[in-house]
Structure 1
C-alpha cells in the first residue's frame, strides 16, 4: 500500500497537487493546530487567497481529495524540533511495520521545523522525498501551477555514509557492517562516478579488514592487491606482506615475498585482534585470542631460536635442569619420536636455556601466569561453565597481556603496531585513484604500517 506522509502549512494548493500526482492509497497529514482546519475543517476553510492560489470558497482537503484512507497527526508545537522529529519518526516507523508498505514523504508545507524533521526522519529510513514547487519567480508560495518531483538523495546518503556511518563502524571494528553498508551504497543508481570509485576503494579496504579480522590474511592481501599503489592501502599491504612471510616461516613454506620481518608478526596480530574483541564486549573471544598468542609466542621462539616444535619435542634437546619436570615420566611418541609440550611447559622449557629473554621473563611471573591460565580454564569457552565478563578479561589481560608486551618488546625491539584501522581521514575527500608519483610522503592514509 502506497502511503504519502506530508506536512501541512497555510497553503492547501501544494497538498492537492502532490496527492493528485502521486495517487497514494493513504495520506498522513502532519499539521499544526493552525493548519488543521485546512485538512478537515467545516464549511469552506480553503478560502480564496491570491497569494496561495486557492479557489474561492474551497472545501477542506479531505472533501476536495476524498482519499481512500487517511490519518491526521496534529503537532502541539510545530516549532519544537524534538516533538516534531519524534512524532514524525513514530508515524514512519509504524507505517514501515505494515506488510507491503511503500512510503513517500512530501515536505513542501508546514513550518521550517516540520519540514526539516520530516526530511531528517525520511533520510534516516531511506524513504523517498518529494517537493512540490513552481517557477522560482514566485518565491512566496506554491500554487496551482506547481508540480511534485522526487528529490535526488543518493549524494546525501553517500555523504552521510562516508562522514558518519562508515567511520563509526570502523571505530568499533565492525568491518563487516561497514562492508555491507558500502555494498548497498555501491548498488545505488545515480551515484556520481567519483563517489562510486571512492566507495569501491573503501569496499576493498573494509573487505580486507573483515578477512584480516578472521585471520584470512591471503584473502585480505588479494583484495588489496590491485590497489597496492594507492596511499590509502600501501601501508596495509606492507604490513600484510610481513605478516604472511612470518606465517610462511612458521609453516615451513616459501613466502610469496620476503619483506623484512622479525617473525613475531602473527603474535602481534593475535594481541591486536584480542583487543578488538574486548572493545566489542566479546570477552571470552578476547581471552581465547590472548591465550593463543601466549601459546604461539612460545612456539615461535622455540622453533626459530632452537629448532624445536612443541608438537613433538625430542627429550634429548630439553635442558637437563628442566627435563624431568617437562617429561614427567612420559615416553616419546613412537609415531613422531618426541613428546608434545603444552603452553606452560613450553615456557618452562625456554627458561632452561641460558639467557633466553622469554624464559627470563617467564620465571618471575610463572605463578601469576599459572593463576591467570587456571582462571581462563574455568570459563565457558574453555572447560568451565561461566562466561567471562569485563572484569575477568581485565584480570587476565593485566597478566597475560603485559607479559606478551614485555616479551615482544625484548624480541623485536619495537612496540606493538597501531590498532586497525588507525587514524581515519575524511573519507569524502579520498581520491579513488592512486597518486602518479612514487613519493607518498605527505599523503593522508587511513591505515598505518
Structure 2
C-alpha cells in the first residue's frame, strides 16, 4: 500500500499530476485555510475524472501557513492521527511526500517534519527550462510536468546522525550512542547501509554491556559482528572515518574478552575493573564512581591473592590458615557472631594486606612500599558513596589510581582500551 502526503497551493495542476503519477492508495493533503476547498472542489473531481476512482483521503489544515514552527508541529501531531483514520497501522509516516504545492512555508515544513522518517520525496518539475514560464524561471507549464522521485534522503545524510552517535561513544555514552544508531537503522532504506549501521549498533551495544560488566553479552555481540564490520572497511572515508583502526582495536578487545571467566575473580577481571575506573574518571570525570571502582580493585587484589595462593577467604577465613603470628589477634578483632550462634572471621582490605605482608607476599610488600596509601584509602572511605559525605575529586582519585597500578606493577598503558571513532570535526 502506497501513502502520499502532499501540500496544496494555489495551483492544483501539480497536485493532480503527482497523484496520477505516484498512484497512491491513500492520500493526506496538507492545506492552508485558502487552499482547503481546492481539495474537494478541484483536485478530487479531477482525479476521479482521470482514473474513475477516488483514493481514501484525509485533510490536515495548518492554523498559520506563514509560521514554519506551527506547520511542523501540526504535521507531526496530525499525520499519525490521519493515518489511523485511514486504517494505516504498519508504518509511522507516509511512503511518499510531495512538497511541490503550497507556499514556501508549507513546503519547507512538509520536508522538515518528514525528515524524521524514511520516505521518498516527490517534486513536480520540468525536464528543462523550456517547460517553465518566465524564460525558465517561473512555474511549470501545464502539460510539461515531470515527476522527480527522490529516494530516501536518509541514505545520503545518515552520516551526520552517525557522527553524533560516534561522538557519544567516544564520551563513554554507549547506551545513548546505540539508541541513535537504532533510530538511524529505522530511517534508512539502502540495504547495505542498513546492515552496516545495524552491525555497528550491535557493536556499540556490546561495549555498553561490557562497560556494565556483562562480559558474556559483550563478547557475543562483538564476535558476531566482527566479520560484517570488517567487510565494510571500504566505506570508512564515506560514512565512518577510521572504521579500520576501530575494528583492529575491537579485535584486540575480543581476544581480551576470551581470556575472561566472568563468573570467577581473576587478574584479567581486576585489570578490566581498573580500566572501567579509568574511563569513569578520565573521560566522564565521574571521580566518585571511578574511586569506588578503583578502591574495589585494591581490595580485590588482596582478596584474590589470599584465596588463590593461601586458601584464605576474607569473608569467612579459617583460623588455622591465618599466620600464627597474627592468628589470635585476628580472631579477637574480626570474629563476627552469626544468627545461628556460630562465628566467622571477616576482614577488609588493610587487614588483608597485613596478612600478605606477614606472609612476605609480593603484593603485601608493594602495598607497604606505597607512601600515604592508607590515608588515600581513608579518603575514599570518607567519600559520599562510601561512609562519609566528602566527594572524591580528581586529585584524590589520581592518588588511588596510581596506588592500584603500583600494587599490580603495571602502567596505565597496559590497561585494556576501548576503541574510539575518528571524527571530522
Q: TM-score, normalised by structure 1?
A: 0.62
Q: CA deviation at 1:29?
A: 1.5
Q: CA deviation at 1:290?
A: 5.4
Q: CA deviation at 1:247?
A: 5.1
Q: Is the 8 A contact 2:377 2:400 kept in 1?
A: no
**Matching residue within 327, 340, 344 for 2:346:** 340
Change (3 A) 1:364 1:357: farther
**Matching residue within 268, 274, 288 for 1:268:** 274
Matches within 5 A, 1:3-402: 5-8=5-8, 11-19=11-19, 21-22=23-24, 24=26, 26-29=28-31, 37=34, 39=35, 60=38, 62-65=40-43, 69-73=58-62, 75=64, 77=66, 83-84=67-68, 86-96=69-79, 98=81, 100=84, 103-104=93-94, 105-110=97-102, 115-126=107-118, 129-136=121-128, 138=131, 140=136, 141-145=139-143, 146=145, 150-153=149-152, 154-156=154-156, 158-164=158-164, 166-171=165-170, 173-179=172-178, 182=181, 190-193=189-192, 195-196=193-194, 198-225=196-223, 227=226, 231-242=245-256, 245=259, 251=265, 264-272=270-278, 274=280, 289=293, 292-300=296-304, 302=306, 308-315=312-319, 317-318=322-323, 320=325, 324=329, 328=333, 330=335, 339-343=345-349, 345-347=351-353, 349=355, 356-359=365-368, 360=370, 361-372=372-383, 375-376=384-385, 395-396=391-392, 401-402=397-398
CA distance in 2 between counterparts of 1:14 and 1:107 reads 10
CA distance in 2 between counterparts of 1:123 and 1:209 reads 29
Q: Is the 8 A contact 1:368 1:399 kept in 2?
A: no
Change (3 A) 1:190 1:208: same
Q: Is the 8 A contact 1:312 1:339 kept in 2?
A: yes
Q: Is the 8 A contact 2:291 2:400 kept in 1?
A: no
Q: Is the 8 A contact 1:186 1:200 kept in 2?
A: yes
Matched, 1:425 2:414: no
Q: CA deviation at 1:155?
A: 0.9
Q: Is the 8 A contact 1:17 1:144 kept in 2?
A: no
Q: CA deviation at 1:197?
A: 5.1
Deviating more after overlay: 178-187 vs 89-98: 178-187
Change (3 A) 1:263 1:419: closer
Q: CA deviation at 1:95?
A: 1.4
CA offset digits 1:359-400 (Å, max 9, x no partner): 44532335323323xx43569xxxxxxxxxxxx6x8146587
3-state SS of 1:63 partner: helix
Q: Is the 8 A contact 2:29 2:58 kept in 1?
A: yes
Q: CA deviation at 1:324?
A: 2.0
3-state SS of 1:365 partner: helix
CA distance in 1 between counterparts of 2:281 and 2:381 reads 21
3-state SS of 1:109 partner: coil
CA distance in 1 between counterparts of 2:324 and 2:399 reads 23
Change (3 A) 1:242 1:234: same
Greater helix share, structure number: 2
Report how many aligned residue pairs link the two structures. 368
Change (3 A) 1:232 1:270: closer
CA offset digits 1:195-224 (Å, max 9, x no partner): 345335414522421331232324423433
Change (3 A) 1:327 1:16: farther
CA distance in 2 between counterparts of 1:142 and 1:128 reads 21
Deviating more after overlay: 211-220 vs 21-30: 21-30
3-state SS of 2:379 partner: helix
3-state SS of 2:114 partner: helix
3-state SS of 2:259 partner: helix
Change (3 A) 1:262 1:205: closer
Change (3 A) 1:142 1:308: farther
Q: CA deviation at 1:100?
A: 1.9
Q: TM-score, normalised by structure 2?
A: 0.65
